[in-house]
């Protein structure tokens, strides 16, 4: 409080180092929270029915075509293309493994309508009839 009074009284442009460190720390924390709060749910189950978990290795990914079999849409999955801080890009294999694990967790057999935006890849989880 005295430092602020002196700055105003004498018209000096000085910085209180302790308060500046606190301010920088505060902005860093706010920035970190803001960056991580931009993430959305990576698994959304759209079916009211609960299915037994499937094997992630058996999940098929259809990038452009759709399967020849009848199916029901049971959810949507997405995976971030970058690590938690948005610096390093994940490999395509790692992203596909992540999508398959998430689809398997809700009982999916395949992922269709795969789309990509700047930060993530997502698709519709289906279960064969």
Q: How many CB atoms lie under 10 A from the CB of residue 89?
A: 12
Confidence band for 11, pLDDT divided at 50, 70 and 90: very low
Copy the structure tokens of residue 67: 């399967």
pLDDT reported for residue 6: 47
Report in angstroms the alpha-carbon separations of 9 from 3, 5, 6, 26, 109.
Answer: 10, 6, 5, 28, 72
Instruction: Read off the pTM.
Output: 0.69
CATH architecture of 43-128: 2-Layer Sandwich (3.30)
Q: What phi and psi, each to the nearest 5 degrees, are found at residue 128?
A: -70, 145
Q: Where in the chain is the domain with CATH 3.30.1660?
A: 43-128
- Using the predicted structure, report yes or no on whether residue 1 has a pLDDT greater than 50: no
pLDDT reported for residue 21: 72
Report in angstroms the alpha-carbon separations of 44 from 16, 35, 90, 126.
Answer: 49, 21, 22, 12
As beta bridge partners, residue 109 has: none
The distance of Cα 115 from the centroid of its chain, to the nearest Å, equals: 14
Copy the structure tokens of residue 20: 């500046």
| Average pLDDT, integer, range 26-55 | 75
| Average pLDDT, integer, range 38-64 | 87
Confidence band for 82, pLDDT divided at 50, 70 and 90: confident
| Average pLDDT, integer, range 60-83 | 92
């Amino acid at each position: 409080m005295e430092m602020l009074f002196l700055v105003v009284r004498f018209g000096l442009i000085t910085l209180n180092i302790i308060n500046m460190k606190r301010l920088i720390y505060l902005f860093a924390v706010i920035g970190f929270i803001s960056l991580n709060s931009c993430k959305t749910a990576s698994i959304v189950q759209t079916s009211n029915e609960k299915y037994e978990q499937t094997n992630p290795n058996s999940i098929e990914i259809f990038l452009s075509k759709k399967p020849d079999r009848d199916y029901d849409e049971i959810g949507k999955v997405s995976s971030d293309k970058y690590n938690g801080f948005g610096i390093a890009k994940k490999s395509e294999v790692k992203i596909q493994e992540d999508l398959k694990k998430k689809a398997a967790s809700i009982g999916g057999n395949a992922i269709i309508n795969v789309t990509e935006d700047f930060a993530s890849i997502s698709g519709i989880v289906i279960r064969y009839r």
